[in-house]
Structure 1
Amino acid sequence: MQTKADLFGEDAPPRVKIAVADIDGVLRAKYVSKEKFASAREDGFGFCNVIFGWDSQDMLYGGAAADPGFADAHATVAEETGRRLPWEGGTPLFLADFRDDAGIAGTACPRALLRRVVERAASLGFIARFGPEYEWFAYRETPGSLAEKDYRHPTPLSPGMFGYSALRTGQRADLMRDLFEQLAAFDVDLEGLHTETGPGVLEAAISHREALEAADQAVLFKQAVKEISYGHGLVSSFMAKPSADLPGCGGHLHQSLWRDGENAFHDADGRHGMSQVFESYLAGQLRLLPVLMPLFAPTVNSYKRYVAGSWAATRANWGVDNRTVALRVIPGSADATRLETRVPGADANPYLAIAAALAAGLHGIAEGWTLDAAPVTGSSYAQEIGVSLPHHLGAAAGALGGSAVAAELFGSGFRDHFVATRQWEWEQYLGAVTDWEARRYFELA
């Protein structure tokens, strides 16, 4: 992490950017002067709580905002997140969040929610580490050209289905270089970067960190990829399923729990090298996954990714090194044994997805749940093993809203607010007239 001297040296611009992640994981930011920031880091600052009262299109949620006056909420600078923006002349950037007493902002803030879950892990003696992976589509477009096309038929960065391509990465070595180097300069470290199957699809693995820092890195990674792409005349999209004919974009979470400097998931004598802690953690996610889906799949589009043969799970199940299941156990050394939660899409809010995975796993440990379900071997799509996951956002939001366990894990205030925002999203979709409907019914109805 860059030091304070690095951030505010003589070469630093006379402004600071402060950003807060909203309920969808979108960064809402503003610039302040160095002088204003000096007081903000000491005493906090005001940030309009409307960011938790409107959707991704800045439309007010119907009934979901507890403060109709949209007052300023007291925000706190997260000092540990400070870094420079290489593509903005070295402008310092800090993330911020809201404490529990900040009204609706304190209740709804995703970063604050994850912080509370991390504290619960600490109370059980654990440090959680996460390493997110993301897939995304890159297009030879600008925001303006996409709007002119009405977001139809965008031109991909490269043609064809070409996963792990040495040719395509070599063809755009300038983009690959900037992604690696500028992300590193931005204090976001990649473990790997390659093409995935699909036209213009890329995938990156972010180095594992403690849970809150991992989520910060994931949020900043997505923002950085989009901004670096702009510099190359491209638009990058983390939409879960941009085309019905192509694979979707995952946002997988590798994770482990650590205690006294050792991986609490590893037991060389355990089943598949899993400790009892790991089994209970896995059992927690397995049992709660169907009711926590909106935290992993928050949009209408998210659910179009969960189809057989798509590398995305359709049921709550697990397996050993099996990429067709929801929960992939990865046996290994004392350092490498881990769980990969493969359900989240790239569109998920990293704070909420990590909070959901960690809270469910910790609940399994606290309740002493046993892993009774057998692992899936072979393709899970050919076997009806595990509870079916919700098929659309409306059903998923209803399940979450009726879950007493979710209220226990996240607080009824957060659960109710978040469910209301997802129900709003679903209702906007139900009220839309799509191209599919026009083609199907316009002349013949």
Structure 2
Amino acid sequence: MTAAEETAPHDRHAPYGELRARAASGEIEEVVVAVPDLQGRLQGSRLAAPYFLQETVTEGFGACVYLLATDVEMDTGPGYAVDAWESGFGDFVLRPDPGTLRCPPWDPGTAQVLADAHWPDGSPVGMAPRQVLRGQLDRLAARGLRAYAGTELEFLVFLDTYREAWERRYHGLTPATRHNVDYALQGLEGVEPVVRRIRREMVRAGLALETARGECHPGQYEIVFRYAEALAACDDHVFFKNGAKQIAAAEGAALTFMPQFGAGEGNSCHLHLSLRGEDGSPVFADPDAELGMSALMRHFVAGQLACLPEFALLMAPNVNSYKRLRAGGFAPSGIAWGWDNRTCAVRVVGAGAGLRIEHRVPGGDANPYLAVAAAVAAGLYGVEHRLPLPAPHPGNALADATVPRLPGTLGEALHRWERSDRAVRAFGADVVAHYAQAARAELAAFETAVTDWERMRGFERL
């Protein structure tokens, strides 16, 4: 089934039976219809449940086109493939995907559903993150393959409210743990009230919790949910990220997923990815083949290494992303793969049906749809060109100066992305131009900002 067919409106009444019953009883009063934006945030509107059920499920809901052409501050402008000014800030149509319907326990009386953006003629908005991923999944489907993914999100928890943090300009905040609590079972008393509620309410909302633990940086924690088909895994990711912030706010705390908040370890979003056949059979493992990896997997991993410099923008989309990927940190700064080797950008881990790649480049700011799309596109490039896989890196790739480097800044990543023939062939020229403009907007905002570092360095002494 194509991406367009998956989002066709012909049968949209059928999946909402339970919602209709709960709305009729007064249990559900509102439905939040949300679209993931370029940053992976949820943007949308609250609709009265009767209106949603009577009209939106079949007709869709209008929302301004600029939602898919803005920076973090919601500023838009020329240069995007979707130009809000030229279109007079008109609407596209959000068509709810019933498979994403959830009822967040922290927002009583409310259901939430993700939507896909379509133009008035019914065609999908190709630059929308969910559609970018669907395009790559369709390419896999043409080969009889399906992608399964899981994301490991780290975040920092502070014992300050978001308003207090804002008013202090995010200085002098109190982390919820005092020291490194990586795998620790004590010293978590400050963070546990918040993360316990996040864990439990996400499970109540239908996410399958896998693991949870403290992490290295003071206040840092990681919650991992069970892998799923790639699109569903990304939907879970954005639902979790949005909800975790809401729960933290309700608890009088604040949390951040930004890749590098300060000195020390940053927040990662390690991406696990594997492929299966149409019948659900795993296709990566082959015990009789070289390295125990099927030829398909070897080519797929080789494609990651070949395309990482040009596709890095989709995994590390912000100025701050590259502070985490700095040399000397624990996040990868070079391009290498290894067996169960956390110093490599691409770690191969697991066995049999669980054999998979772990992409260690994305940080907590990564848009999951784009990061997974980049990994799939890179893998397909390797498969299509039957790229040979070099030997796995045997030791510390972080300290090996012979390992090819990732882009060191957003500017370098942008340069490689917008000049990449591979990116154009995989994603289309419009998508490449659209996300290049998103990077330019981020760079322009940063380059005109005056930082605390500059004030400390120059206020008195220059």
2:9 aligned partner: none
CA distance 1:102–1:389, shift in 2 (3 Å): farther
AA aligned to 1:21 is P
Deviation at 1:360, TM superposition (A): 1.0
TM-score, length-scaled by structure 2: 0.91
- Segment drifting more, 274-283 vs 147-156: 147-156
Return the alpha-carbon distance in structure 2 between the equivalents of residues 364 and 101 of structure 1: 37
Deviates more, 1:43-52 or 1:298-307: 43-52
Q: CA 1:105–1:99 in structure 2 vs 1: closer, same or farther (change >3 Å)?
A: closer
Contact 1:130 1:214 in 2 (8 A): yes
* Residue in structure 2 matched with residue 345 of structure 1 by the alignment: 363
- CA drift of 1:184 comes to 0.9
Contact map agreement 2:157 2:220 (CA 8 A) in 1: yes
Verify: 1:381 aligned to 2:398, yes or no.
Answer: yes
Q: Point out the more displaced range, 307-316 or 199-208.
A: 307-316
Aligned partners of 1:151, 1:173: CA distance in 2, in Å?
22
- Give matches, 1:250-261, under 5 Å: 250-259=268-277, 260-261=279-280
Which of 175, 179, 183 is the equivalent residue of 1:164?
A: 183
Look up the equivalent residue of 1:421 and give its one-letter code. A
- Are 1:368 and 2:375 counterparts? no
TM-score scaled by structure 1? Answer: 0.95
Query: Secondary structure in 2 aligned to 1:87?
Result: coil
Could you tell me how far 1:170 is from its partner in structure 2?
5.5
C-alpha deviation, 1:269, in angstroms: 1.8
Structure 1 counterpart of 2:267, from 213, 233, 249: 249
| Residue range with higher mean Cα deviation, 376-385 or 349-358 | 376-385
Q: Give the equivalent residue in structure 1 for 2:35.
A: 20
> Could you say which residue in structure 1 is the equivalent of 2:19?
7
Look up the match of 1:399: 416
1:28-177 to structure 2, matched below 5 A, reads 28-38=43-53, 39-64=55-80, 65-68=82-85, 69-99=88-118, 106-169=125-188, 172-177=191-196
Matched, 1:428 2:445: yes
CA distance in 1, matches of 2:83, 2:316: 24
- Report the Cα distance in structure 2 between the residues aligned to 1:435 and 1:174, rounded to whole angstroms: 33
**Residue among 308, 316, 334 paired with 1:315:** 334
Distance 1:104 1:58 in 2: 25
Name the amino acid aligned to 2:57.
Answer: R
- Tell me the distance in 1 between the aligned counterparts of 2:209 and 2:364: 16
Q: Distance in 1 between matches of 2:192 and 2:170?
A: 27
Match of 2:11 in 1: none
Distance (whole Å) between structure 2 residues aligned to residue 377 and residue 100 of structure 1 = 50
Report the Cα distance in structure 1 between the residues aligned to 2:287 and 2:439, rounded to whole angstroms: 43
Q: Is the 8 A contact 1:52 1:105 kept in 2?
A: no
Contact between 2:154 and 2:221, CA under 8 Å: does it hold in 1?
yes
8 Å CA contact 1:320–1:331 kept in 2: the answer is no
374-383 vs 334-343, which moves further: 374-383
Q: Is the 8 A contact 2:271 2:358 kept in 1?
A: yes
Tell me the amino acid that sits aligned with residue 448 of structure 2: G
User: Which of 306, 311, 328 does residue 292 from structure 1 map onto?
Assistant: 311
Contact 2:177/2:188 (8 A) holds in 1 = no
Contact 2:38 2:70 in 1 (8 A): no
User: In the alignment, which of 205, 217, 221 is matched to residue 198 of structure 1?
Assistant: 217
**How many Å separate the matches in 2 of 1:103 and 1:150?**
44
Over the aligned positions, Cα root-mean-square deviation in angstroms equals 1.8
Paired residue total: 440
Give the AA of the match of 1:143.
Answer: Y
CA contact (8 A) 2:315 2:370 kept: yes
User: Aligned equivalents of 1:348 and 1:251: distance in 2?
Assistant: 7
Shift of 1:35: 2.8
Secondary structure of the structure 2 residue equivalent to 1:254:
strand
Cα 1:266–1:17 shift into 2, 3 Å: same
Q: Is the 1:77–1:94 contact (alpha carbons within 8 Å) kept by the matching residues of 2?
A: yes
Q: Does 1:223 align with 2:242?
A: yes
CA distance in structure 1 between the aligned counterparts of 2:18 and 2:109, rounded to whole angstroms:
10
Cα deviation, residue 48, structure 1: 0.8
Amino acid at match of 1:234: A
Instruction: Determine whether 1:328 maps to 2:354.
Output: no
Q: 1:200-235 CA deviation, whole Å, 9 max, x = no partner?
A: 100121210001001101111111211111122111
The amino acid of 2:339's aligned partner reads V
Please give the secondary structure, in 2, of the residue aligned with 1:166.
Answer: coil
Alignment deviations for residues 160-195 of structure 1 (CA, whole Å, 9 cap, x no partner): 112112113456543343222200111222210000
Supply the distance in 2 between the matched residues of 1:429 and 1:261 (Cα, whole angstroms). Answer: 45
**C-alpha offsets along residues 324-369 of structure 1, whole Å, 9 cap, x if unaligned?**
110001141x221111001000100111111111111122112222
Say if 2:43 and 2:67, in contact at 8 Å, map to a contact too: yes
Q: 1:306 touches 1:313 (CA, 8 Å); kept in 2?
A: yes
Query: Structure 1, residues 401-427: CA drift from partner, whole Å, max 9, x if none?
Result: 111110111111011011011011111
